[in-house]
Structure 1
Amino acid sequence: MAQKSVISGQAARLAENFQTLNSRLNLIFVFDHVGRSGNGFVLGIFDQHPQVATSHWVHYVYSYLITEFGDDPELDSERACEFIMRNSYFRYVFSDLDDEIAAHIYKAGGDPDTQYDRRLCRDVFRAIVLAGPVISRRDLVAAAYYATLAGMGRDTAELRYIMVADSVSLRTEHVLQGFSGKVMQAALHDFPQMKAVSLVRDPRAMFASNRHQFVNVLGNMYAVTPASACRRLRELWRCDFRMYSTVWPFWLTYGAATTRCIYRLRRQYGAYFRVLRNEDLNLHFVPTMERVAGWLGIDMLPQWHAASYVPTSMGMPWKGTGAYNSRYQPRTNGMLANDPQHVAEGSAGPNSHVTTRWRSKLAPHEIRLLELLFAEELEELGYDSACGKAARLSVRSCLLRPFRGELPSASWIVRGLRESLAEGGRRLFYAVVFPVYYAVARVAVWRLYRKGFFSDISGGEVRERLSLFLSPVHRTKP
Structure 2
Amino acid sequence: MRPPSLDELAGRINLALLFDHVGRAGNGFCLTVFDQHPQVLTCPWVHYLYSYFVTEFGDAPVVDSRKAVEFLQHKTYFRYVLKTPDREMAKTMHRFGADPDTPLDRSLGRDVLNTLARAHDTVSRRDLFLAAYAAFALAAGRDLGQVRYILLADAVSLRTEHVRTGFSGKVLACARNDFPQARFLSMVRDPRAMFASNRHQFVNALGNMYAVAPGTFARRIKELATLDQRMDNSVWLIWMWYAAETGKTISRLKKEHPSRFLTVRNEDLNLRFVPTLRGLCRWLEVPFHAPWAAPDFEPTIVGRPWRGTGAYNSRYQTCTNGLLLNDPKEVADTVTGPNRYVTERWRTRLAPREMRLIERLFSQEMVQQGYEPTHPPQPDTSAGLLALLWHPLRGELPSVRWLRDGLAQGSGEFGRRLFYTLVFPLFSVLARLQFLRLHKKGVFRNPWISGPDETLLHPDTAGEEPAA
Equivalent in 380, 387, 400 of residue 397 of structure 1:
387
1: CA distance, partners of 2:333 / 2:10: 37
1:459 aligns with 2:448: yes
Q: CA deviation at 1:308?
A: 1.7
* Equivalent residue, structure 2, for 1:433: 423
* Equivalent residue, structure 1, for 2:398: 408
Letter in 1 for 2:41: A
1:419 aligns with 2:409: yes
1:89 aligns with 2:77: yes
* Equivalent residue, structure 1, for 2:202: 214
Q: Give the RMSD, CA atoms, in angstroms.
A: 1.6
Equivalent in 240, 249, 252 of residue 261 of structure 1:
249
1: CA distance, partners of 2:328 / 2:106: 34
User: Is the CA contact (8 Å cut-off) linking 1:277 and 1:471 kept in structure 2?
Assistant: no
Equivalent in 39, 58, 69 of residue 70 of structure 1:
58
Q: CA deviation at 1:470?
A: 2.1
**Counterpart secondary structure, 2:274:** helix
* Equivalent residue, structure 2, for 1:28: 16
Cα distance change, pair 390–346 in 1 and its aligned pair in 2 (3 A): farther
2: CA distance, partners of 1:420 / 1:387: 44
* Equivalent residue, structure 1, for 2:37: 49
2: CA distance, partners of 1:390 / 1:228: 38
* Equivalent residue, structure 2, for 1:122: 110
How do 1:66-215 and structure 2 match up within 5 A? 66-215=54-203
How do 1:240-389 and structure 2 match up within 5 A? 240-387=228-375
User: Is the CA contact (8 Å cut-off) linking 1:74 and 1:137 kept in structure 2?
Assistant: yes
* Equivalent residue, structure 1, for 2:466: none
Letter in 2 for 1:463: P
**Counterpart secondary structure, 1:116:** coil
Q: CA deviation at 1:156?
A: 1.4
Once the two structures are superposed, residues 399-429 of structure 1 have per-residue CA deviations (whole angstroms, 9 ceiling, x without a partner) of 2221100001122111101012100000000
Letter in 2 for 1:162: I
2: CA distance, partners of 1:245 / 1:396: 21
Once the two structures are superposed, residues 53-88 of structure 1 have per-residue CA deviations (whole angstroms, 9 ceiling, x without a partner) of 110100001011111111111111001110011101
Q: Identity of aligned pairs, percent?
A: 50
Q: CA deviation at 1:473?
A: 4.3
Q: CA deviation at 1:271?
A: 1.4
* Equivalent residue, structure 2, for 1:469: 456
**Counterpart secondary structure, 1:147:** helix
Give the TM-score of the pair, scaled to structure 2. 0.96
**Counterpart secondary structure, 1:175:** coil
Query: In the comparison of the two structures, how many residue pairs are matched?
Result: 459
User: Is the CA contact (8 Å cut-off) linking 1:376 and 1:458 kept in structure 2?
Assistant: no
2: CA distance, partners of 1:21 / 1:463: 37
**Counterpart secondary structure, 1:240:** coil
Equivalent in 227, 230, 233 of residue 218 of structure 2:
230
Letter in 1 for 2:425: P
Cα distance change, pair 429–287 in 1 and its aligned pair in 2 (3 A): same
* Equivalent residue, structure 1, for 2:435: 445
Once the two structures are superposed, residues 146-203 of structure 1 have per-residue CA deviations (whole angstroms, 9 ceiling, x without a partner) of 1101101111121111011000000011011100000000001100101100110111
Residue range with higher mean Cα deviation, 407-416 or 164-173: 407-416
2: CA distance, partners of 1:464 / 1:335: 37
**Counterpart secondary structure, 1:121:** helix
1:60 aligns with 2:70: no
* Equivalent residue, structure 2, for 1:7: none
Cα distance change, pair 406–316 in 1 and its aligned pair in 2 (3 A): same
2: CA distance, partners of 1:315 / 1:187: 27
User: Is the CA contact (8 Å cut-off) linking 2:19 and 2:155 kept in structure 1?
Assistant: yes
1: CA distance, partners of 2:272 / 2:438: 38
2: CA distance, partners of 1:362 / 1:308: 31
Q: CA deviation at 1:126?
A: 1.0
Once the two structures are superposed, residues 248-281 of structure 1 have per-residue CA deviations (whole angstroms, 9 ceiling, x without a partner) of 0000000000000000101111111011110000
1: CA distance, partners of 2:379 / 2:341: 25
Once the two structures are superposed, residues 318-345 of structure 1 have per-residue CA deviations (whole angstroms, 9 ceiling, x without a partner) of 1111100011111001000000112112
**Counterpart secondary structure, 2:422:** helix
2: CA distance, partners of 1:411 / 1:277: 37
Cα distance change, pair 341–369 in 1 and its aligned pair in 2 (3 A): same
User: Is the CA contact (8 Å cut-off) linking 1:84 and 1:91 kept in structure 2?
Assistant: yes
**Counterpart secondary structure, 1:415:** helix
2: CA distance, partners of 1:213 / 1:460: 29
2: CA distance, partners of 1:401 / 1:313: 42
User: Is the CA contact (8 Å cut-off) linking 2:234 and 2:431 kept in structure 1?
Assistant: no
Q: CA deviation at 1:387?
A: 3.6
